[in-house]
Chains A and B, each alone.
Chain A
């Protein structure tokens, strides 16, 4: 807990330390490092307006919006868009439901609950690429323990990520394993910070618990749910590590989400122009959501401050 927490926020007093330039000087190094990163961003825009294949450098030329216009009639682009959105909706939706459920289970501050919530941090701290490898070992058709276990429930010869019909479910499962704890932690903290009076009043009035949940808990928790969902959406639509480590986008084009498709375009078909255009479309989508997220998150942070 911050030291100043007990003190009501004093009116911000602005005082000048040293010359007017000081704040600029303090933040300048950080800015310079980041400006170096803005240059490639500009380059990417430039590439996206070109016909540019690494394998055919002689044919490089500006084609302006052609890469983008081509997408309209390009089934593999629509596939990318569809897979990315499906992946995002499935992962964020399932993780929200699971994360909220687990947070409700762990809501009481008992020793056991605290120990469990700490152990649930571990999947979140596992590198997603390595998590995918772990699941790959467990779902190996020859010796994987999960392949063996699903045999009991009637799924003989279940092929997990190597079968086009179950590949998406497999990577979604890994995503859920890694990121559900993130949502759980955020919602648990949110739940524990809710005031208790409304719940006591509802209990006194004999309101059934599930009614209280939908009428009191859920609305009060909504800002936290929204922040967690937006944050996860931002990450999920850009997912690369889990999918690439698990299947490299395969089998076929089953899992070619935006970043995987762009990576394969760049390094395998060396189509730099198309790759850059794909990434810019992804950037436009994430930019929209990141603005929503930042707004929400700042509001939540202000509130968390106000409570202390």
Chain B
């Protein structure tokens, strides 16, 4: 395997991208989960699909755009979607979750139109839907690195603000934090991470990278710091095991990564239950 990675550039791209996503997706995921926004990540991934499908269609029909990397349109759609979700959430103040089905169905609807308009990009599309070990280009890797830098800078600047905002929004506002502005920035960064993650895990499974490692970490951790550390650890483990098995078994990495995350989650739940039982029995 290591020899293969050293020899093939496409494998290097896939593994490097995967390792980066394994850190940034669960890192932001902790804030998404504790703020009960997991479904928003799902809605955004479906909007991203519309951007990808639109871009693939354009590259077929407009010759000057033939070599356009769909990730850019994916990013634009995801960021646009996050802005729209926020607009809808403030419009339907008492029914904030309505924004999610509106944006999600809008995203899938647009994707369906672009997919049926175009013909013959089913292989490409499959790699965007479920991820791919072989399709990650050097350009994709650079975009993912750039997005990772943005995430790190954002959290470096606003980590404690995000903590306060997630824990107690009223207190955040009373202490004079620009809660709304920080939240909007956070949504934009989430949109970027979703667009970045889709290359590896696929659009349909992006939200799993954001939520599953966090769900497992929350069963074990006693503090916020631990939650973050465990989330990244589980995220990385899922990506590495998932990518290696996808490569050897010739499977879509989205599937293997998500199944690995779910196995980790179940193992954590079972082991914790057993440990508690033993503790109770010993008194």
Are A and B subunits of one complex?
A: no
Q: Which residues of B contact A (CB under 8 A)?
A: none
Q: Which residues of A contact B (CB under 8 A)?
A: none
